[in-house]
Structure 1
Amino acid sequence: MLKIYIDIDIYLMVELRMKDYKFDELRIVLAIAGQGSITRAAQLLLMPQPNVSRALASIERRLGLPLFNRHKHGLTPSEFGQHFLLQAEQLLEQQRALQALADQHKRSLAGGVTLGAPIGIHAFLARHLLAPLQAQMPELVLDLRTRIPSATERQYGAIFDSDCDLLISPFQPQNENLIARPLIDFRMGIFASVDYLAHHPLTLRQAADLAPHRCITLSMLGGQRNLWRFRAAHGEIQQCEVNGVCICDNLLPAIELARQGIGLLYAPYYAVAADLQAGTLQACLTDAASLPMRSYLIYRQRHTLPHRVQVLAETLLNTLPRHVP
C-alpha cells in the first residue's frame, strides 16, 4: 500500500514540475537515458560533453532527486527517473505535434486575407487579377475593404487599420514599424468627355492653360484644391493648383462626372482605360507628358504574417505591374 502512495506522489511531483524545464534539457536527459552514457549522448546531440553534464546536474539540482544511478558501466534511470523520463517523452511528443500543427498552418493557404485599397484599385483587381487568383488558390477567402485615403493621410501617412492584412495606398504608413514596399507607379493623366472638350477646347502647354476650366477634384489630393502635375513640351514639370466644381472621395463618381461632361479629371490611366477605349473620355496629355504616382503595399513585419498573406502580397507585387496601362 505504501508503495502505491509513493508512486502517486512521485507522479504528481513530476507532473507539477515538468513545466519548469526547457525542451532542450528534456532532450538531453532522454538522450542520456537512451545511450546510457553522457559521452555517447553528447556525441549523438553534437554537443560538448561538459554542456551535457551541466544540463543533467542542473535538472537534478532543481529536482532534488537523481534521475540516474551511476555505475561503472554507465548510467541507468533511477526509479524516480523512470517516471520523469516517461513524462518528458510525452511532453516532447506533444511539443512536436504542436510544432507540426503550427508549420501546417503557416504553409496553408486556407483562410481569409483582408485587403484594403481605394475602390478604384479594387475594381481594377476584380477585373484583371482576382478571378485567376481564386482559380489558383480556391481555399483563399478574400475580404476586400474599401479604404479611402484622406487629405490628412497625405500629410501624415497612411493609417493601417488593425483589421487589415494588406493595404494598398498612395502614401507611406504613419507607423514606421510597418513594411511599405513600392507596388507600382500609376501613370496619371488629365481626361475629359468629348462633349466637354468640344465646348471647352484645351491645349495644354503650361499650368496656366488649366485656369479657365472646370475641374473634378479628389479628397485624397487635398479636397477642393488639388495640385495637378504634368510634363511640359520642353521637359519641365508643371504644377497647377485647381479648384473643384465637384469633390469626390473616390474615383468612381469622379469618372462618371467626367463622362457627363462636368469638367476635367486628374486620374490614373488604369481607372479610365475602358472609357478611353470606348471613346467616352479622351486624354488631354500625351504619354510623354504623363507623370507617375507611386503606390505602396503595406503590411506588418513578415515574421508575424500567415503564409497566405505572404503569398498574396508577393502575387500582387509580381503580377499587378504587368496589367496596369
Structure 2
Amino acid sequence: MTRTTRHSRQSIGRRLRFQQLLIFEKVVEAGSILAASRELAMTQPAVSKAVHEIEAQLGGALFVRGKFGVTLTDFGSLFERHAKSMLAELRYLAEDLNASQTGVTGHVIVGTLIAASATLLPQAITRLRQAAPDIAVTVRVGPNSALFPALARGELDVVVGALPEASAAGLREDDRARLTHVSLYDEALRVVVGVQHPLARRRKIHAADLQEQEWIVPTSDSVAYGAVRHFFEQQELPLPRQPVESISILTNLELLRSGPMVALMPQSAAMRFAKSGLLAVLPMEGLGTFGGVGYTTRSDREATPATRRFIAAIEEAAEALSQRRK
C-alpha cells in the first residue's frame, strides 16, 4: 500500500531549502542533470542528490529520466509553478533590500508584445536609463498566452503592449484577478509592405487589391489576432489561405523586405519603419484600431522601486507619443 505524504507549511518550511529550488529551476531550464551541473558549477552527483532530496521530501517524482535528459512529471509541473512563485518572491525581497540600502537600483523584467516593442518600449527604456542608469532591464518577447501567466507567477514585473480581452488566453480565472491593466492610448491599424512591393508605388489601394496577396498574420493566441480578424471581416475579405503566422518583429521585417508579402501593424510601429525606409505604409484609411496599448502589473503585490520607476518612464513615453499624434 502506497503511503500518502501529508504536508503543512511548517513541514515544507523545515525540509525545503532555497538552494534546492534554485537547483531544481536550473535542471528544468537546462533539460538535464549534466547540463544543469555545468551551468551551476557543481558536480553532477551533487545536483542529482539535491533533486532526490526534494523528491523524498515532497513524496513524489519530479522528473522522468531519459537517455537525452529529463522531463517534468505532472507532479513536477505542479511543483514548478509554486517554485517559480517562491523564487520570484526572493527576487522581490532582494530588490527591496537593495533599494532601501543603495537607492535607485534594481532589475526590471519586462514582457512585451508587438504593439510596444518598436516604439513605446524603447523610448521608455531610454527615459529610464537617463533617470536611473543603475536599473537593469531585461526584455522578453512573446504572445500574451505566455507573458500574462508568467506575470501572474512573478517571473515578469510588467507586460507592455496591446491590452488583452477580459478572458485573456492562457490565464486561469484566479490569475486574471491578480492582474491590473492600465490603458495608455488606442493604436490605429495600418497595412504595410516592403518598399519593393508593387503595391508600395500605388497611390490608391482598394480592399480587393489585398485579396490575393501573401499575408503575415499574428498567431491565434496573440492579443493582435482579434484586431486582424476584425480587419478582414470589416473589409469583407476572406481570411488568408496558408499565411505566415508570426509575432516576431525581426522575422516579419525580413519577410516583408525580401518578398511580396503584406502585413498589418500598429500605426506607431508602421510609421517608424516607414520613416527608416524599411517598409511602405499603404494609403488606406478607416481600417479600425489595433486596440488599446498599455501596461499590466500584478495587483496582489506592491511593485518594486525599480518597477515603479520603469512604469513612470512608460507613462512619460506614452504621453510624448500621444502629443506627437495630435
Normalised by the shorter chain, which TM-score bucket? 0.5 to 0.7
Pair 1:168 & 2:160 matched: yes
1:181 is aligned to 182
Letter matched to residue 229 of structure 1 = F
Q: CA deviation at 1:228?
A: 5.3
Confirm whether residue 216 of structure 1 aligns to residue 208 of structure 2.
no
Counterpart position of 2:40:
none
1:221–1:168: structure 2 CA closer, same or farther, 3 Å change rule?
closer
Name the CA distance, whole Å, in 1 between partners of 2:315 and 2:101: 20
- The structure-2 alpha-carbon separation of the partners of 1:211 and 1:288, relative to structure 1 and needing over 3 Å to count, comes to closer
Instruction: Please list the CA deviations of residues 169-203 of structure 1 after superposition, one character each: whole Å capped at 9, or x if unmatched.
Output: 42155312211111332222101124322599695
Counterpart for residue 242 of structure 1: 240
Compute the displacement of 1:254 (Å): 0.9
Tell me the distance in 2 between the aligned counterparts of 1:291 and 1:243: 23
User: Take 1:201 and 1:190, find their aligned partners in 2: how far apart are those partners?
Assistant: 13
Compared CA separation, residues 295 and 194, structure 1 to 2 (3 A): same
Match of 2:142 in 1: 147
Partner of 2:264: 266
Closer/same/farther in 2, CA of residues 301 and 258 from structure 1, 3 Å limit:
same
Aligned length: 214
2:104 to 109, 114, 126: 109
Structure 1 residues 196-245: Cα deviation after superposition (integer angstroms, max 9, x where no partner): 22599695444x4432222112213688xx525289xxxxx435423354
Per mean C-alpha deviation after superposition, the further-off stretch among 269-278 and 188-197 is 269-278
1:117-172 deviation digits (Å, cap 9, x = unpaired)? 1367345356433233212112322222223335x99xxx7653421111124215
In structure 1, runs of 5+ residues without a counterpart are 1-100, 232-236
Give, in whole Å, the separation in 2 of the partners of 1:209 and 1:198.
Answer: 8
CA deviations over 1:18-59 (Å, ceiling 9, x no partner):
xxxxxxxxxxxxxxxxxxxxxxxxxxxxxxxxxxxxxxxxxx
Distance in 1 between residues matched to 2:108 and 2:264, nearest whole Å? 31
Paired with 1:179 and 1:222, the residues of 2 have a C-alpha distance of 19
Corresponding residue number in structure 1 for 2:299: 301
Which amino acid in 2 is paired with 1:132? Answer: R
Q: Structure 2-normalised TM-score?
A: 0.53
- 2:298 and 2:257 map into 1 onto residues whose CA distance is 39
Residue 278 of structure 1, CA deviation: 4.1
Where does residue 29 of structure 1 map in the other structure? none
Give the match's secondary structure for 2:240: strand
- TM-score, with structure 1 as normaliser: 0.54
1:133 aligns with 2:135: no
Q: Structure 1's 126 and 162: CA in aligned 2 closer, same or farther, altered over 3 A?
A: closer
Q: Which amino acid aligns with 1:276?
A: A
**Quick one: structure 1 residues 292 and 216, their matched pair in 2 at CA, closer, same or farther if it must change by over 3 Å?**
closer
Residue identity in the other structure for 1:114: I
The one-letter code sitting in structure 2 at the alignment partner of 1:181 is: V
Instruction: Give CA deviations for 1:59-106 in whole Å, capped at 9, x if unaligned.
Output: xxxxxxxxxxxxxxxxxxxxxxxxxxxxxxxxxxxxxxxxxx989739
Task: Indicate conservation of the 8 Å contact 1:112/1:141, yes or no.
Answer: yes
Displacement after TM superposition at 1:302 (Å): 7.0
8 Å contact from structure 2 (residues 224, 290) kept in 1: no
* Larger-gyration structure (1/2): 1
Instruction: Judge conservation of contact 1:228–1:239 (CA < 8 Å) in 2.
Output: no
**Aligned equivalents of 2:107 and 2:141: distance in 1?**
16
